[in-house]
Structure 1
């Protein structure tokens, strides 16, 4: 502690009271401990392996209830935070925070400043931790099984596990089930094998995965796997070795957008495409780019001494895309769109629109009002507010026409059944599909509904 005292004297100078010095000393000791904990998560190569999780432990003279803890902390902490996996063991209670260091620091600063119901001072401890790997009991495993069932679209054989541990049923029952947890991944893989052996598409976006967390996926490759599409965007994948973790599947489409690994290919997209093709020869589409078409056009251009005749894939983490829109990619976009639209995860479709997109609704039926919605906020509210639907896919017809090299218009017509009604209504949807963030989004959507 002598070094702490020396550093403290240098920071504060001589004109401080002993009480102020003690308070600052406690703060400095906490900072040093946090630095030591951070160092523990650095591997042999010096790379930071910390996954962004904190454990908040709170000790009082008596067992503390969740509502009391959160209301006490919430009244003194201005930073927004979402507590996950609340637990109680004896006189210690606590919860986890994910990727919210500012809230974690604000909460631990309340150490011994809050009072428990019995008047005792609450001790608050903060620890950085790996992804929580908790054991689920029988009831919790049943909730896990129910959530998987709700998130499965049988028509498209699509399982949507995006932002999995933020599923509302988990939050309501204080179940912490991150897919990056070894035990949770084992449970999920086992349930998929037992119930959905024909799985064709899997969405694992927004789960804070590192490459090492994907080893558990190999458990799905038992027998004749049919997994053809895998979405890993918006994770923490930093190494191209991720391809080795998924190459055993018969993938035709893989999405790695919005992962740190793309930074290293920012100025050399051709290297990225060739690396992907070498590692997974059977892959057809990477991040929305048709690999064969891309390589063919660029090789032709190089042979003629010309600049590439097709747009380079955008391998930045953010920014607009320059991909050429093809009919095949628009059809894939529409398949994914209509695979989600009739599910409880319909609100996720907001990601299918550009931030400034316009959704115009023209309706002659009472269940849905005509309106013009602009931007993600308004479109998101509309998606949530629309009644539950069941589109009748056997009535669909498609008309896909390019308006320009970077804009393709898709017109979908058919019939849809609305909740509470026994009679289907006719719909027509005219969507302008454009490149965005190395993939494709809808910039303008005209949605018309009328009675039959």
Structure 2
């Protein structure tokens, strides 16, 4: 071993003040915390970051190969069909579907003369099965169709004016003006786009640019953005920096169920005043499942105002990590009603909304026993009914409320009809009014309801101390 290599080996063995984690290097560089380094040190850092980038790309390629070996479907496939005449979409889909036992969802159908094509997402078995139908399906002239399948990058074609108008209308429908929330969950599978063969995956650069432009022009006061289930990762996030031309009000960001593999991707959102972030069901969460403190610290480094990370109170965890080292175990399993909040006495709107979401997920379940944890021991449930089939009653304490929950008829709430009004009489109390419609077993007509819940901190989470349900 040469002198230079011996020195390098010795330095590495001793620690040498180097970085342990590539995300730390990324965060350090972006945060500007290396400003005291000289030019030589900066050059070394850039060189090391390039090596780490190559290492990351190899790791992602390895993960992709592993997914493929395990039978997990990944990526996009383009299906091309050639016939002796112009093919109609319904004829083609019906012919292929009747020849397969596998389910598939075709996206972005296009035809040019006697050729057509469409795409499949994350369904390699279906792509292979469709390819096997080559020259086994006839068109209306009795000629065999030539069918091929090829793996392609995420397809993204610039939308024309008519398609862009449909996209605007779709985004408008997904925007809640009351909370300034734009929900772009699984956008390219929206029925309005699929029915018109508009392929608009947010993971495609050109599509993301058009979506960002729509947001910038139409939602200047955006406060919450849901980008879950869009297969987003890496540099595509940098395009979102253009959603505001001036100061941003974006405080809540949902990135669940995407392809985020390192915390450095979060740096693209640093200019936003994020206080609530969700990264659940991303590869990066699995990477840090045994290192929750480091996970929160890296998130905090990018978002100094961050309070809520994956339903966990980030500030409380950092202050009390020695007491609760496994608090993030709820990330994958999901927090229960009794542990979904914060250990502090303050009640925030994001926590209240999380409480309500879980409450209405449990209230329609066949077994409502888990819903009992939503009430304090001395809670009051007051049912005021104008319906002949349901008697107005008042129940005090968990035992009586349990009886009421068990005996009350099965319900199915229509979440699309909901409206919310959340007020905070004090820092430690919230009053939420939920209005909407629901179907009650035994009643033919849909019932209109208004539910007023007084929500307070209890144990490590939030609970309801008074519940007034009005039916009419």
The correspondence for 1:168, drawn from 191, 210, 228, is 191
Which stretches in structure 1 are left out of the alignment for 5+ residues? 1-41, 302-307, 342-347, 402-409
Within 2, Cα distance between the matches of 1:450 and 1:356?
20
Within 2, Cα distance between the matches of 1:268 and 1:415?
38
Structure 2 match to 1:449: 470
Structure 1 match to 2:328: 313
User: Offset of 1:122 from its aligned partner?
Assistant: 0.8
Contact 2:86–2:111, Cα closer than 8 Å, also in 1: yes
Q: How does 1:336-375 map to 2 (within 5 A)?
A: 358=368, 364=385
SS in 2 for 1:388: strand
SS in 2 for 1:97: strand
Structure 1 match to 2:451: 427
Aligned in 2, Cα 1:242/1:368: closer, same or farther, shift over 3 Å? farther
The correspondence for 1:78, drawn from 80, 101, 106, is 101
Contact 2:311–2:340, Cα closer than 8 Å, also in 1: no
Does 1:145 pair with 2:168?
Answer: yes
Does 1:128 pair with 2:151?
Answer: yes
Within 1, Cα distance between the matches of 2:250 and 2:229?
19
Aligned in 2, Cα 1:365/1:215: closer, same or farther, shift over 3 Å? farther
Structure 2 match to 1:54: 77
SS in 2 for 1:94: strand
User: Offset of 1:336 from its aligned partner?
Assistant: 6.1
Aligned in 2, Cα 1:246/1:426: closer, same or farther, shift over 3 Å? closer
> Could you say what the CA RMSD is over the residues aligned between the two structures, in angstroms?
4.3
User: Offset of 1:296 from its aligned partner?
Assistant: 1.0
Structure 2 match to 1:218: 241
Which stretches in structure 2 are left out of the alignment for 5+ residues? 1-54, 65-73, 373-380, 392-403, 439-447
Structure 2 match to 1:20: none
The correspondence for 1:45, drawn from 36, 58, 83, is 58
Aligned in 2, Cα 1:158/1:46: closer, same or farther, shift over 3 Å? closer
Within 2, Cα distance between the matches of 1:111 and 1:366?
61
Within 2, Cα distance between the matches of 1:136 and 1:325?
42
Structure 1 match to 2:31: none
User: Offset of 1:324 from its aligned partner?
Assistant: 6.1
Contact 1:59–1:93, Cα closer than 8 Å, also in 2: yes
SS in 2 for 1:314: helix
Contact 1:235–1:259, Cα closer than 8 Å, also in 2: yes
SS in 2 for 1:241: helix
Within 2, Cα distance between the matches of 1:284 and 1:46?
31
Does 1:117 pair with 2:140?
Answer: yes
Within 2, Cα distance between the matches of 1:102 and 1:426?
48
Aligned in 2, Cα 1:191/1:429: closer, same or farther, shift over 3 Å? same
Contact 2:254–2:278, Cα closer than 8 Å, also in 1: yes
Does 1:334 pair with 2:355?
Answer: no
User: Offset of 1:387 from its aligned partner?
Assistant: 7.8
Aligned in 2, Cα 1:112/1:289: closer, same or farther, shift over 3 Å? same
Residue deviations 1:332-388 (CA, integer Å, cap 9, x gap): 2433687xx9xxxxxx99878898874899884679999x999xxx98xx344x783
Given the two structures, how large is their TM-score scaled by the length of structure 2? 0.66
SS in 1 for 2:329: coil
Structure 2 match to 1:206: 229
Residue deviations 1:299-335 (CA, integer Å, cap 9, x gap): xx4xxxxxx247521276x334586632656742433
User: Offset of 1:434 from its aligned partner?
Assistant: 11
User: Offset of 1:112 from its aligned partner?
Assistant: 0.9
The correspondence for 2:88, drawn from 65, 81, 87, is 65
Aligned in 2, Cα 1:227/1:211: closer, same or farther, shift over 3 Å? same
Contact 2:317–2:324, Cα closer than 8 Å, also in 1: no
Deviates more, 1:359-368 or 1:201-210: 359-368
Within 1, Cα distance between the matches of 2:76 and 2:318?
41
Given the two structures, how large is their TM-score scaled by the length of structure 1? 0.69
User: Offset of 1:191 from its aligned partner?
Assistant: 1.3
Within 1, Cα distance between the matches of 2:364 and 2:347?
17
User: Offset of 1:237 from its aligned partner?
Assistant: 1.1
Contact 2:203–2:236, Cα closer than 8 Å, also in 1: yes
How many residues get paired? 368
User: Offset of 1:441 from its aligned partner?
Assistant: 11
